[in-house]
Structure formats: C-alpha cells, structure tokens
Amino acid sequence: MEVILLESFDKLGKIGDTVNVKDGFARNYLLPQKKALRANDENKKYYEKIKKELNEKNKKLIDDCNKTAVILKKTELIFIRQASDSGQLYGSVSPKDISLHLMDKKIDIKPSSINLTSPIKNIGFFEVVVKLHAEVSVKIRLIVATSEKNAIEQKKSNEENKQNNTNDTSKEKTSFKSEQKEDDKPKNSSEKITIDKNEVREDKSNPD
C-alpha cells in the first residue's frame, strides 16, 4: 500500500514522504495510529494543508528528544543481579527492566525504543543505544553486577581500560607522526645511485 507519512520513521522515511508498505502494517498500525495517510489525491491535498503544523511539531519533538539525550548521556544505570562464578546471570536485564529503571529517574522511555536485540545475561559493562526519534539516538551506560561494591569496581576497571586504550592510541599517533617526519626527510642521493647501479649490474649480468 502507498501511504504518506505523518511521522518520521527510521529506515522508512521522513514526514511527507510517500512510501510503499505492507498492507497489514498500514492497516494495523500506520493508519489507525494516524501516523500515515493513504496516498490518494484527496489526502495529498489534505497533507499540504497540515504540512507546516506537522513540521513544527516534529521540530519541537526533536528538540525535546535532544534535551533528553543530553540527560541520558550523563546517566549510568546499575543493575544488581545474582550470578554464577562464571558471571552468567540467574535471570537477565531486558529492555523493560531498563525502561522501568529510567522511569525511577523520571525519564520516560518505552522498551521498544531501547535497542537491545536480546536480554543481557552476563555481568559486565554495557552500552545500549536508545532511539528517541528517527533522527535522535543516544548511548546509555549499564553496569550489571552482583553487588554495589562490585559495580564500583567494574566501573573503575572500565575507566582504567579506557584510559589505557587512549594512551595506546596516543602513542601510535605519535609513532606514526615520527615515521612520517622520517619519510619526509630528503633522501640521501648516494642511496639512489647505489640502487640504480645495482639495477644496471643486474641488467648486464642477464644478457637475455
């Protein structure tokens, strides 16, 4: 079915785009939720009338999502779970768990907006993408541990690893720059002549 989008959708299109979607998706979701219109002449004219209002609402929505993204970037969630000696959880951390945890912090995020393809089933430090809008996404930090003490230790360990990685990257860049400087230095002319002479000798020693 061909529809006119009244909202922006990731991987589908932006407001005002005319796109082809499966009939079931249109009838069961887009049309009843007023997220799209059937793409006929009458609705195309209607869309032109409401286009300005829709774009203004969408701009405000994006601004609000960007504000929420700033808050989420500074947010770190800690989940205390029981686990085996190998670190495997007796349970899991799901998008719903994350959503409820954020709700406790007065941040309303639907589980469907949390990009977690499968529940977390191990202790550790995780970064999860939250899709606030088709044009706004943000990563949130999660620590899954067996106690608050272990969570603090995991956080410290993760920060140390990041610092070490940063230092290693800095050393690599410095080394690369040094090599570049060496390469940029003028080559010794005698070296060039020697190579040329060797090539001449090889040519002479091979009459073919």
For the entire predicted model, the pTM comes to 0.67
Domains for the chain: give ranges and CATH numbers. Answer: 2-67 (3.40.5.10), 75-155 (3.10.430.100)
Asked whether 103 and 115 are in contact (CB, 8 A), the reply is no
Q: Which residues pair with 125 in a beta bridge?
A: 143
For the stretch 15-37, what's the b/e string if a residue is b when 16 or more beta carbons lie within 10 angstroms of its beta carbon? beeebebeeeebeeebeeeeebb
- Tell me the Ramachandran region of residue 9: left when phi exceeds 0, alpha when psi lies from -120 to 50, beta otherwise: beta
Judged by average pLDDT, the poorest of 33-42, 88-97, 148-157, 178-187 is 178-187
Residue 64, pLDDT above cutoff 50 = yes
The predicted model gives 142-167 an average pLDDT of 82
For position 195, what pLDDT does the model report? 29
Judged by average pLDDT, the poorest of 47-61, 109-123, 167-181 is 167-181
pLDDT digits (tens, 9 = 90+) for 81-93: 999 999 999 999 9
Rounded to whole angstroms, how far apart are CA atoms 97 and 71?
19
Residue appearing with tokens 């299109």:
13
Residue 78, pLDDT above cutoff 70 = yes
**β-strand pairing of 18-20 with 76-80:** unpaired
